[in-house]
Structure 1
Amino acid sequence: MLREWALTAGVLWAGVGAAAVEGPGRDQFLRAARASGPVAVDGRVDEETWAKAPVFDAFVQRFPEAGKAPSERTELRVLYDDRNVYFAITCHDSQPALINRNLGRRDSDLYSDRVRVLLDTTHDHRTAYVFTVNAGGVQTDGLHYDDQNYTSDWDGVWDAAAGSFEGGWVAELAIPLSLLRFPEAPLQTWGFSVRRDIARRNEELETVLNPRTSGAIVSRLGHLTGMEQLRPQRAVELVPYLAARTVARPQFSDAARPWPRLVDPSLDVGLDLRAALTSNLALTATLNPDFGQVEADQLILNLSSFEAFFPEKRTFFTQGMELFNQVGGEGMPQTLFYSRRIGLHTPILGAAKLTGTVAPGVEVGVLDAVVTGPWLRDVDEERPDRSMGLHLTRPLHLGPNNALPTDPMVPMNYLAAVVRGKVGTSSRVGGMVTMATPLTGGCTAEDAALDEELQPMPCLARGGNAAAVDFDLRTADGQYGLMGQLEASQGVGGPPERTLRDGTVLRRGDTGFGGYVRAGKYGGEGFRWDVGDDFTTPRLELNPSGFLRTQNQHAPRAALHYERPNGMGPLKSFSANLSGGTQWTTDGRGLNRGSWVNFNTGAQLPSFDYFGLEAGVNFGSWDVRELKSSGVPLEGASDAFLVLIAESNENRKVSGGGFVAAAYHLQAGPVAPAWGWQADLYGTVRPHPALETRLELLLDRTPTAPRFIEDLGDNHFILSPLLSDTLSLTLRQQWVVTPRLTLQAYAQLFTTYGAYGTYYEGVSDASHTPIRFSSLRPVERENTDDFHDVGLNLNVVLRWEYRLGSTLYVVYTRGQQRLPVADGARPPHTLMPHGLLAGAANDALLVKWAWYWGA
């Protein structure tokens, strides 16, 4: 019955040149045809089998006028055989000379003419593969998950080509069935749509009506059917690699002695593996992974008492990780699994993850990683050991013994396991468990009392267990939703007790609890709203394997939005948002940790340039983290700010944008009010589709209220206001010889200085009474706290995909810091890069060869 109904529904392949005002939705069934001969992926679509394939051309606009007829005609054909599913999208264009064919490295998000194929192969209405190819032949892939969220981190090995004809261009894609998860069935029916972007018109077309106003994507897809007798492919993919590296570095760890330098060669071998264990379960593993081709993290100045969050860039941890993401996507306050914890200091020996479906609508994921490596605490830098060594804790690495790190490499095992179950059409519930387990012995109180450089390794471990249940409940149309998470943690390993930044004492075995919830109207034109609440107890500790910016906090919030993503009057889009919230401690004191009100608005002009503004006020608070680990609250200052934002249409050869912000910091006791400001600007030049130059400039001036300098004991503290200036200049250069042969360069010059002012004494008591700014008293003290830092990061990467899935990298990197300011000298109060060229530098040249084998 299902097959007969689907075949009958195939008549919706009808039509020539439909000028739809209202496009089809979930009831649309498009039909694929079995290929009658071989298909060469060359962008020409000239094989006889393509001529026999049904043609669909009833695309509708998604943006800027949802549901309206497209400005240009698009034809879609779909074929399949026992190994691949093929897509041919013929993009007619009345002005072919204006087609944007910008080139870039694989997976670069280019503003260009392009097509995207969305495939929900498990038909769960929540997850869809996305395969993109632009008019220049550049491939990109990613994944929609939780119906509306998107990640570009998923990668697969598939083929595509772009070709030209007199009246437009053609995209041809071949997606291996071994790359897709789908059930065993006589007839396959997948969620499906194809999107086309016409860059110069900023126009999005789609095979189904899926407007930006909806709060859903995957659940609104049409369907692809007609694929008979397809068998899930039990494929195995192996990617062994060989990496040869040479590093030139200072012989001495003392930054004031940048010369002489040593040249340290090293050799690594490793393996990546992917295997389909069943039709619904896939295994991915890596042994001694090397990420030398990954761009270095941005240099920043973090003067806050909170850890900075950095995005993941390493391929093993970016591919197929959507199942491990927290409900609500990035930006949620309590994250159980933050992959940057793994291998941050200690090398990864091996890691594996298992993902897939164990029952209809039930997904599971398990990840395990072991980090360990050799190190030497006592090194004779005057007479370095230049002999090459192999070590059991890192058996696939060969390098000189003098290059071993001197910081302890704490062996750890990281485990994350998650299960998510579908509820109804657009909802799901789930749970997650994470464990960061030190592979060391125990740490006694006597061991922990030693100076840190003398403590045994078990005292340096930071382990923990955490578990959570989560839910993401949405109406069928995706407009209304309720989502959240409830979690608990337990401290494991390390010293018998340690003190957190806010003074909370965390003992081994201590437990903490927390959670967050969000509810609101997330889709539709006009007014939307949402409310939320975050709660963490003082002893909640997710950071051994996750990311928790702060604990000991209760933070309700509310927001009202007005959204017109399809335009309003002459504007192509418009939004306005008003939000506010407050927060206080959960340790029984109920101390106010701050309240805020924020308003922002933005609009896309008829020229598709964007302008916006944001304004807000942060009201005074008690800062329980500033006076490090003392538990004494310090009064926090109030401020008001205004931000102006602009971005030009990216379709131009020269484009740019950024923001300029100004903040007024109110008087903080003896410190007078002051202005701060920040400008973050960028400009991009594309003189040719194969060349792109991007320059980014950040300038920041931040005055602060009196902040922590020294703990004198007995709840007496030295504080001082700080004025910091920062300059960051980043250059990115790209040259694309072909979409599979690219050269990229990245350079960041970072300089900053900080000038402290009058020193003050703040006094509390045994009850940890809060310190008010008005109670501060000036004291005499020599200023030895000013700073001046300069850094340079340089990264040049040649990437050649010499055959499908196989790559050769040649990478040069340089990292350099300024020569330290001489003892007794005052650091310069300037953003000039004084001392940089004389400072210590590390230069590395890497050649990495990876070969793809699939069967």
Structure 2
Amino acid sequence: MKILHLFWVLFLFPPLVFAQDSTATKAVEKKIYRTKPLNGTPPPTIDGIINETNWDLVSWGEGFVENEPDENTPPSQETRFKILYDQKYLYVAYRCFDTEPDKIEKRLSRRDGFAGDWVEMNLDSYHDKRTGFSFTITAAGVKGDEFISRNGNNWDSSWNPIWYAATNIDDKGWTAEVKIPLSQLKFGKSKEQIWGLQVNRRLFRKEERSVWQRVPQDAPGWVSEFGELHGLIDIEPQKQLEIQPFGVVQYDTFPKEEGNPFRDGDDFKLNGGLDAKIGITNDLTMDLTVNPDFGQVEADPAAIALDGFQIFFREQRPFFVENKNIFDYRFANGQDNVFYSRRIGRSPQGSISELNNESVDRPVNTTILGAAKFSGKTKDGWSIGILESVTSREIAKIEDENGNEREAIVEPQTNYFVGRVQKDFNDRNSFIGGIFTATNRNLGDAFDIDEDNPDTDETIEVAGTRENNLNLLRKSAYSGGIDFRHNWKDRKYYVEGNIVTSRVEGSKEAIENTQEELTHLFNRVDADHVEVDPNRTSLTGTGGKLVGGKSGGGNWRYNVGMFWRSPELELNDIGFLRQADEIRQFANVRYLFLKPTKLYRRANLGFDQFSTYDFEGNYNRIQYSVRGEINYINNWWTEGEYIHKPRIFTNTILRGGPRFRFSEENIAVLFFGSDRRKKFSFVMGHVNSWTWDNNFSFKRYVLRLNYQPFDAFSLSLNPEFSINPNKTQYVTETDFNGTPRYITADIEQQTLSASIRLNYNINPNLTIQYYGQPFISRGRYKDFNFVNNPIAKDLSERVTLFDNNQISFADDTYSIDEDRNGTVDYTVDNPDFAFVQFRSNLVLRWEYIPGSEIFLVWSQGVTGSGDSNDHLFRSLNNQILDQQPENTFLIKATYRFVL
């Protein structure tokens, strides 16, 4: 069976996994810093000037070594630090020596901007050697804070604790003082705390990093290499209680539509809610939100997908972003995840059957009535996350020209639940975990039965008729999984894996619709291993991954593994799954150039390979790629990649039609850029794809410009242009004398976008930020054809072009007389399109006291359909610059009570 071919690499690579690297670094001795308590003496004043005598209670932590670019060498400038504590706070003093203090870079930025010179402290208060809390202060006094997970492979800047810092510049360099409430850290109760500790300094003008605890360049991670903080005696875990009410005043303006009572030109709203953070224990925190508002969140980038698959957007809402690493469960590749928080509060999914001359007031998003999140990690290695959220029933209002009203429920009340747990063991070198999710929709409130005639499904409502249009939604969805990871030989080698199961339940109509979705395609005409069963009321599937390799030590890194997603796997009620019915084998190897030379600071080369199969055993794809990166001695850089795809079959392109072949493809990628530290920097890039038979191609041009004329102001402009011609772009399926006809055509798609960002920092706590993105995508179709032999190697045999005697165009419709008998056999609507969109946010943010903020927001948006016959810039002018935009003005104020 062809599927067995995927195991070839498992026999090729195991010798590499256990091979020793002759360049491996010897174990580095762990450093220890001993702190002392204040013992009742007044705490230091946090003004950035280290002049209080109580700092003399402890000695300086020193002996920093360079980490980048030339690891384990003396740094250009010396750094020292001190740490004190009492029962409420940790106090830190930094002395960053600089022989040229006038060259200290004091760039302002918003919080977590990490611009200019800075120094940071990383604390592994769990001492699990995988997670930590990072506190960064820049020479300009801007704070940055991140939660570190996956042993330094993930830094989450959405974590925003309350802490205090100040800086000062003198003739010896610059100094900083920091006060961190113990309530913002997580640690267990014990006589003496032992925490992981690292202090890291950036010398901006040389792009040099120096660290207190040496971390070799070939180390398998970051947190696992920390030194230790000792001397924290008899400190009590601090239970956290924070309450943050908010109020929002919002005013919307939009183009007035004559005869539409819902679009009269403006709207005014008042809103309020509450966020709370409760420390159940010092390790575990309960986050609550009631009627949350996300008005200041940046708009999603515009995108259009002709392949029919859903588009992944990153989470930006603060409640869901915080501690998201605990809930993360990526089980296969890419964005596939058992939990995708964007499902909560999504756009209503129900359809509306509109009649002529009707106006519709449809909710944009589903209202989140409330949500609670219980999460954290205990001292003995239990990582726990529980999330519960309820969204409201959403109703669209419909009114005709005579004032008659009716309603349509477009989203039922829904309950979402996620439970996640992991347990460390084997001296924190291994973990095992699990996840469970549940989505339950109250479809019973989708309609009201006429009590006078209960045998009918007529729907009624006081205001008029209410439609039952939720019959395609699943009633419930459950998923569960188990994952593990084991590291050995000082974490240099690892094996990890997971398994996922899912079950969805609903009406026969809902489950039949699920089987026919693009994710599953049980209705594929040439598939023998799946078929649509219209009587099913549930669907159960599995997925998972197994991978092992080398993550540290010496110059080589490699892994090999496989994952699968069964045809029945369905996660999209609360997770993200792009496509089921796939088995993939993969192998990756990289060589790291760890020692800088006169040419470069860092460089690496890599080779990747993967192949895919479906569950029928069809060998669908194999791909090879070679890639490399180099950071030159002057901090310019280059990245390149070459990809070869000798075999490309797809089960989805014909949307239920037969398996289809694409011609052999090659892709070349080249990006390079200048030194990002300079006031002006740029990135230029090009992606070029080409195929045999000129089946399709893709050309992408990228330019990213960044300019910071002075410390408080920066701007960036990122234009992109792409051209994507394809001779077999799917158009539609029709019928020809009882035979299915899959119509494709030659499309020339052009897309132009440009994201614009402006940041002005009045001071570290008062910033003005602007984001805008015009987006234009145009597609023109020609040379229509039908699929003849979908798996033929030559394009001329794969599809058959319609000649001028078979196809004609009139009234925006293509008429096709395939058998040339003078009678139209079928018609195809003109698929040409021009999608135009502009979105922007202007936000003034003032953190008037730590943790409490005021936002002034102006959001603007225009979405339209241009003329596909116009060039892109004319569409920009006609559909964006000449149109009245939709505007939202809001004021949001929060106040954080720390009790």
Q: Take 1:412 and 1:324, find their aligned partners in 2: how far apart are those partners?
A: 20
Given residue 98 of structure 2, which amino acid in structure 1 is its aligned partner?
D
Residue 801 (structure 2) aligns with: 778
Residue 791 (structure 1) aligns with: 837
Report the Cα offset of residue 712 of structure 1: 0.7
Q: Take 1:141 and 1:271, find their aligned partners in 2: how far apart are those partners?
A: 23
- Mapping for residues 640-719 of structure 1, pairs under 5 Å: 640-667=666-693, 672-673=694-695, 675-713=697-735, 714-719=739-744
- 1:497–1:454: structure 2 CA closer, same or farther, 3 Å change rule? farther
- 1:461–1:46: structure 2 CA closer, same or farther, 3 Å change rule? farther
Q: Does 1:371 align with 2:391?
A: yes
Given residue 748 of structure 2, which amino acid in structure 1 is its aligned partner?
L
Q: Take 1:771 and 1:591, find their aligned partners in 2: how far apart are those partners?
A: 19
C-alpha deviations, 1:621-674, integer Å up to 9, x for none? 22211122x25222223321111111211111111114112111321xxxx456
Residue 822 (structure 2) aligns with: none
Q: Take 1:382 and 1:526, find their aligned partners in 2: how far apart are those partners?
A: 76
- Mapping for residues 551-570 of structure 1, pairs under 5 Å: 551-568=580-597, 570=599
Partner secondary structure for residue 704 of structure 1? strand
Q: Does 1:51 align with 2:43?
A: no
Match 1:169 to one of 165, 171, 174: 174
Partner secondary structure for residue 342 of structure 2? helix
Partner secondary structure for residue 147 of structure 1? helix
Residue 130 (structure 1) aligns with: 134
Q: Does 1:116 align with 2:120?
A: yes
Q: Take 1:247 and 1:127, find their aligned partners in 2: how far apart are those partners?
A: 43
Q: Is the 8 A contact 2:183 2:282 kept in 1?
A: no
Identity level (%): 26
Residue 462 (structure 2) aligns with: none
Q: Is the 8 A contact 2:330 2:337 kept in 1?
A: no
Q: Is the 8 A contact 2:697 2:726 kept in 1?
A: no
Q: Take 1:220 and 1:247, find their aligned partners in 2: how far apart are those partners?
A: 52
C-alpha deviations, 1:321-347, integer Å up to 9, x for none? 21111268x954631111111112212
Partner secondary structure for residue 478 of structure 1? coil
Residue 322 (structure 1) aligns with: 325
For the aligned residues, what is the CA RMSD?
A: 2.8
Residue 471 (structure 1) aligns with: 484
Report the Cα offset of residue 804 of structure 1: 0.9
C-alpha deviations, 1:407-449, integer Å up to 9, x for none? 71332111111110112132211111111221223999x999x
Q: Does 1:828 align with 2:846?
A: no
Partner secondary structure for residue 460 of structure 1? coil
Q: Take 1:454 and 1:625, find their aligned partners in 2: how far apart are those partners?
A: 33
Q: Take 2:587 and 2:796, find their aligned partners in 1: how far apart are those partners?
A: 30
Given residue 790 of structure 1, which amino acid in structure 2 is its aligned partner?
V
Q: Is the 8 A contact 1:723 1:754 kept in 2?
A: yes
Match 1:500 to one of 517, 532, 537: 517
Residue 372 (structure 2) aligns with: 352
Q: Take 1:171 and 1:373, find their aligned partners in 2: how far apart are those partners?
A: 52
C-alpha deviations, 1:359-408, integer Å up to 9, x for none? 711221101111114422423588699xxxxxxxxxxxxxxxx9xx9771
Q: Take 2:489 and 2:166, find their aligned partners in 1: how far apart are those partners?
A: 37
Q: Does 1:752 align with 2:777?
A: yes
Report the Cα offset of residue 831 of structure 1: 4.2
Q: Take 1:555 and 1:726, find their aligned partners in 2: how far apart are those partners?
A: 31
Report the Cα offset of residue 26 of structure 1: 6.0
Match 1:485 to one of 477, 488, 498: 498
Residue 399 (structure 1) aligns with: none
Partner secondary structure for residue 731 of structure 1? strand
Q: Take 1:60 and 1:121, find their aligned partners in 2: how far apart are those partners?
A: 23
Given residue 657 of structure 1, which amino acid in structure 2 is its aligned partner?
V
Q: Take 1:253 and 1:41, find their aligned partners in 2: how far apart are those partners?
A: 61
Report the Cα offset of residue 721 of structure 1: 2.1
- 1:789–1:840: structure 2 CA closer, same or farther, 3 Å change rule? farther
Match 1:624 to one of 642, 647, 651: 651
Q: Does 1:205 align with 2:210?
A: yes
Q: Does 1:809 align with 2:881?
A: no
Residue 837 (structure 1) aligns with: 881
Q: Take 1:810 and 1:561, find their aligned partners in 2: how far apart are those partners?
A: 47
Q: Take 1:296 and 1:133, find their aligned partners in 2: how far apart are those partners?
A: 29
Report the Cα offset of residue 149 of structure 1: 2.2
- 1:258–1:647: structure 2 CA closer, same or farther, 3 Å change rule? farther
- 1:373–1:100: structure 2 CA closer, same or farther, 3 Å change rule? farther
Given residue 667 of structure 2, which amino acid in structure 1 is its aligned partner?
F
Q: Does 1:515 align with 2:559?
A: no
Q: Does 1:525 align with 2:548?
A: no
- 1:341–1:287: structure 2 CA closer, same or farther, 3 Å change rule? same
- 1:162–1:762: structure 2 CA closer, same or farther, 3 Å change rule? same
Q: Take 2:553 and 2:404, find their aligned partners in 1: how far apart are those partners?
A: 67
- 1:774–1:535: structure 2 CA closer, same or farther, 3 Å change rule? same
Report the Cα offset of residue 214 of structure 1: 1.1
Report the Cα offset of residue 280 of structure 1: 2.2
Q: Is the 8 A contact 1:752 1:831 kept in 2?
A: no
- 1:259–1:185: structure 2 CA closer, same or farther, 3 Å change rule? closer
Q: Does 1:592 align with 2:616?
A: no
C-alpha deviations, 1:728-771, integer Å up to 9, x for none? 11211110000100001111111121111211122589xx9999
Given residue 427 of structure 1, which amino acid in structure 2 is its aligned partner?
S
- 1:574–1:53: structure 2 CA closer, same or farther, 3 Å change rule? same
Residue 11 (structure 1) aligns with: none
Report the Cα offset of residue 244 of structure 1: 0.7
C-alpha deviations, 1:577-605, integer Å up to 9, x for none? 1111111111x2x2233221111111111
Q: Does 1:742 align with 2:772?
A: no
Given residue 112 of structure 1, which amino acid in structure 2 is its aligned partner?
G
Q: Take 1:818 and 1:325, find their aligned partners in 2: how far apart are those partners?
A: 36
Partner secondary structure for residue 774 of structure 1? helix
Partner secondary structure for residue 709 of structure 1? strand
Given residue 644 of structure 2, which amino acid in structure 1 is its aligned partner?
V
C-alpha deviations, 1:148-184, integer Å up to 9, x for none? 3222232212122222111211222211111111111
- 1:483–1:381: structure 2 CA closer, same or farther, 3 Å change rule? farther
Partner secondary structure for residue 238 of structure 1? strand
C-alpha deviations, 1:188-246, integer Å up to 9, x for none? 11111111111111111111011332111111111111111111111200000000101
C-alpha deviations, 1:696-735, integer Å up to 9, x for none? 0101011124122111144222111211111111211110
- Mapping for residues 284-323 of structure 1, pairs under 5 Å: 284-323=287-326
Q: Does 1:607 align with 2:634?
A: yes
Report the Cα offset of residue 252 of structure 1: 4.5
Given residue 777 of structure 1, which amino acid in structure 2 is its aligned partner?
T
Q: Is the 8 A contact 2:243 2:896 kept in 1?
A: yes
Given residue 423 of structure 1, which amino acid in structure 2 is its aligned partner?
F
- 1:219–1:384: structure 2 CA closer, same or farther, 3 Å change rule? farther
TM-score calculated relative to the size of structure 2: 0.84
- 1:443–1:816: structure 2 CA closer, same or farther, 3 Å change rule? closer
Residue 7 (structure 2) aligns with: none
Partner secondary structure for residue 316 of structure 1? helix
Residue 336 (structure 2) aligns with: 334
TM-score calculated relative to the size of structure 1: 0.88
Partner secondary structure for residue 326 of structure 2? helix
Aligned length: 794
Given residue 32 of structure 1, which amino acid in structure 2 is its aligned partner?
T
Q: Is the 8 A contact 1:486 1:515 kept in 2?
A: yes
Q: Take 1:382 and 1:163, find their aligned partners in 2: how far apart are those partners?
A: 71
Given residue 546 of structure 1, which amino acid in structure 2 is its aligned partner?
G
C-alpha deviations, 1:271-295, integer Å up to 9, x for none? 1110111232211111111111110
- 1:462–1:775: structure 2 CA closer, same or farther, 3 Å change rule? farther
Q: Is the 8 A contact 1:246 1:266 kept in 2?
A: yes
